[in-house]
Amino acid sequence: MNAPAPSPLNALADLARRDLPDVLADLRRLVELETPSNDKELLDLGLDGIETWLGERLGVPATRVRHDGGAFGDVLDVAYPGTMAREVVLLCHYDTVWPRGTLAWWPVTVDGERFSGPGCFDMKAGIVQGVWALRALRELDLPRPTVRLLLTGDEEIGSPASRPHIERAGTGAAATLVLEPSRDGAAKDRRKGMGLFDVTVHGVEAHAGLDPEAGASAIHALALLVPEITALAAPERGTTVNVGVIAGGTGRNVVAGRATCEVDVRVQDPAEMPRVDAGLAALVAADPRVKIEITGGWNRPPMNPGPASRELLGLAREVAEGLGSSLDAVAVGGASDANFLSALGLPVLDGLGAVGAGPHSRDEHVRIDGTPHQVALVAGLMERIARG
């Protein structure tokens, strides 16, 4: 009697465990390419290095376009043919929040199950895991979709250059898998939308000792407005408002002629966006000589799963079960490029990248023991999508 054929998922998991040393070596290679969001020179050099690595790992792509990001990081769009008709987008960003020179005081380190380094968790591990997931499908000759790898260089600063490329790629795909970090292994199916606003107050300067009544302090006016701004929060509806930066004035003996604050707004319910807009537009200073200027706007819409994304999550859960685990889905306050696609009603699943913790902090790290599972999960999900 013949033994039953091994499960493709078991084979993927075995392969991912076998390849772990090479995966970690590749992660080190990418982390040691510094790619700060605001450093165009390093972004260009980093993407050059990533593209060279892609060629070594996956060969020459069927199509390749590098979109000029202008002052921001370029967008690399490459496609690798599959065995099935469907297309899956692997969406990743290669920019990080860490400035030039960070590696000089924080080199890559491996301590037990912790792989640490600037940008390793958010999100260079996701790039590496996606590439090795495709390699696994190829090696095992499993059904696979055409994989379109979209690498963006401005996610950490709001995706000003990459957004149209993301939306265009997602529109033509059977699914988009966003390889942002997981939340302790859980995927992310809900994210808040984000608004970035600047409230600038224009007052009247005067000498604070000789002629204070001639002035109208922009700082004093802004101090009264801040409670009105933060009162726009509605935690019961998932809306938060934070005034994160305040600046203004020219000297302690000058009635301030100008002051500004930077406001971060997060919303889960799209209906909250016009309410917050109206609240900011209605701000009025107590002194009629003071003028208020509102600039900025909504950077990302909220991410709330539609039917297509819920179906995609269901597939991912089936794959996780086949790998002997379970897949939770969580809501998070941070935004990502998945928000854009979700708002268009497209099938998207986020948080399929590394297991670890500490994004944007000195504690940033990837859990090595969670890495093979994530590679196998992405590979298995792509195989399921390819088969329809």
Which positions are catalytic?
95, 155
Centroid of chain to Cα 27: 18
Count CB neighbours of 356 within 10 A: 26
Give, as one character, the DSSP assignment of residue 3.
P
Under 8 Å CB-to-CB from 294, ≥6 apart: which residues?
197, 198, 199, 200, 280, 281, 283
CB 175 within 8 A of CB 89: yes
Task: Output the six-digit token pair for 62.
Answer: 């069927």
- Amino acid in the structure at residue 48: D
> What is the rounded distance in angstroms from the CA atom of residue 220 to the CA atom of residue 198?
17
CB 121 within 8 A of CB 357: yes
Task: Please name every residue paired with 187 in a beta bridge, in sequence order, or none if there are none.
Answer: 329
Cis peptide before 123 (omega within 30 of 0): yes
